[in-house]
Copies of this chain bind each other. A is one copy, B any other.
Amino acid sequence: MRCCHICKLPGRVMGIRVLRFSLVVILVLLLVAGALTALLPSVKEDKMLMLRREIKSQGKSTMDSFTLIMQTYNRTDLLLKLLNHYQAVPNLHKVIVVWNNIGEKAPDELWNSLGPHPIPVIFKQQTANRMRNRLQVFPELETSAVLMVDDDTLISTPDLAFAFSVWQQFPDQIVGFVPRKHVSTSSGIYSYGGFEMQAPGSGNGDQYSMVLIGASFFNSKYLEFFQRQPAAVHALIDDTQNCDDIAMNFIIAKHIGKTSGIFVKPVNMDNLEKETNSGYSGMWHRAEHALQRSYCINKLVNIYGSMPLKYSNIMISQFGFPYANYKRKI
């Protein structure tokens, strides 16, 4: 065996074996590293996705999504049916259920047992059954837009998608599906009503001066505005268990100096109150409901010292939905 210079090194037989072993180890390590590198991007991607989701959910006041606030009392069957619908609406960020069933546990367990759900739903147990509970500044609310819906109202997804896009163009107004008006009389006393009443100076057509919040989009900052109102306003709503929506229209009209809301004509919106097994049929069935609302208007004018509501006759529909809705009927 001819020696090479390695042979001349001390412990050279051992040296070759060590070298070969080292080379093999290095090769194996390289292979493992290569395999890890191949795996690594997907792990990283997931992490990025999670990071992005966190950033997005921590991003306050985004305009691109909205929070559904639904207050509920004694109609849990309707609530759950509606939640199954609303949880799947595009651009929905989160649902806040204002649980007005005092003493009764919110159905968190039931809800969780039927997961997973597309978006988070928070059940907020209340301490007293108050109409204005839904107008709190909820810490869980992170979006610029609130979608407020009564717990018996089913609004189709196309209607919601369109109305939200309209709200994004008019973010300082209530964009919703239920228009109402006030009328004044020669005595200066106001009355509350819908289409059956005629606003002064309407000429052709009708007018509205309020958009009810129970089926609408509005800017979440108005919840803070509401909390800052005079105690008399809160007391009025507590006394009547009514008129929180009228108050909101007053507040917004006063703030922006123009009509408080924009009416979007719903294509497919239903009231499910007849479908409840609870036997409970909603506040507006109370005998004094309509009279209360006229009463509230006059009280609010008194509190604020003026009538800030302004009339509008703008009705917005979605161009081409339903199909060819811009064509004239023959």
Main SS at interface, chain A: loop
> Residue A326 at the B interface, CB < 8 A?
yes
Instruction: Determine whether the beta carbon of A205 is less than 8 Å from that of B315.
Output: no
* A219 beta carbon closer than 8 Å to chain B: no
- Assess whether A136 is interfacial by the CB under 8 Å rule: no
Within 8 A of B (CB), among A275-330: 312-321, 323-328
B324 touches A313 (CB 8 A): no
The answer to whether the Cβ of A265 comes within 8 Å of any Cβ in the partner chain is: yes
Contact present for A263 and B315 (CB under 8 Å): no
Check if A193 is an interface residue, CB within 8 A of chain B. no
Contacts of A166 in B (CB 8 A): 314
Q: Which residues in B have their C-beta under 8 angstroms from that of A269?
A: 328
A158 at the interface (CB under 8 A from B): yes
Residues of B within 8 A of A13 (CB): none
In the bound assembly, the distance between CA atoms of A195 and B328 in angstroms comes to: 13
Is there an interface contact between B315 and A326, defined as CB atoms closer than 8 Å? yes
Residue ID in chain B nearest A265 by CB atoms: B326
Q: Out of B179, B320, B325, which one reaches A326, CB within 8 Å?
A: B179
Q: How long is the Cα–Cα vector from A203 to B317 in the complex, in angstroms? A: 15
Q: Within 8 Å CB of A165, what residues of B?
A: 313
- From the candidates B265, B320, B328, name the one contacting A313 in the complex (CB within 8 A): B320
| Chain B proximity of A262: nearest CB distance (Å) | 10
Is the C-beta of A220 less than 8 angstroms from some C-beta in chain B? no
B residues near A158, Cβ cutoff 8 Å = 204-205
CA distance A324 to B205 in the complex (A): 8
Residue of B nearest to A199 (CB): B320
- Which residues on B sit within 8 Å (CB–CB) of A205? 158, 162, 318-321, 323
Contact residues, A188-236 vs B (CB, 8 A): 195, 202-208
A176 within 8 A of B: no
A320 with B207: in contact, given A195-B326, A326-B179 (CB under 8 Å)? yes
Q: Among residues 37 to 92 in chain A, which have CB atoms less than 8 Å away from a CB atom of chain B?
A: none
Chain B residue contacts of A202, Cβ below 8 A: 320
How long is the Cα–Cα vector from A34 to B129 in the complex, in angstroms? 77
In the assembled complex, A161 has its CB within 8 A of some CB on chain B:
yes
Chain B residues, Cβ within 8 Å of A162: 204-205, 313
Write the chain B residue with the least CB distance to A312.
B319
Whole-angstrom distance between the Cβ of A52 and the nearest chain B Cβ: 23
Q: Report A260 CB to chain B, min CB distance, Å.
A: 15
Chain B, residue nearest A169 (CB): B314
The chain B residue with its CB closest to the CB of A318 is B205
Residues of B within 8 A of A314 (CB): 166, 169, 316, 319
Of the candidates A165, A269, A319, the one having the most CB atoms from chain B within 10 angstroms of its own CB is: A319
Could you tell me the distance between the alpha carbons of A199 and B284 in the complex, rounded to whole angstroms? 43
Beyond A158-B204, A316-B316, A317-B317: 16 further Cβ-contacts under 8 Å? A158-B205, A162-B205, A165-B313, A195-B327, A204-B321, A205-B323, A206-B319, A206-B321, A207-B320, A208-B319, A263-B326, A265-B317, A313-B319, A313-B321, A314-B316, A315-B318
**Which residue, A206, A316, A326, has most C-beta atoms of chain B within 10 A?**
A326
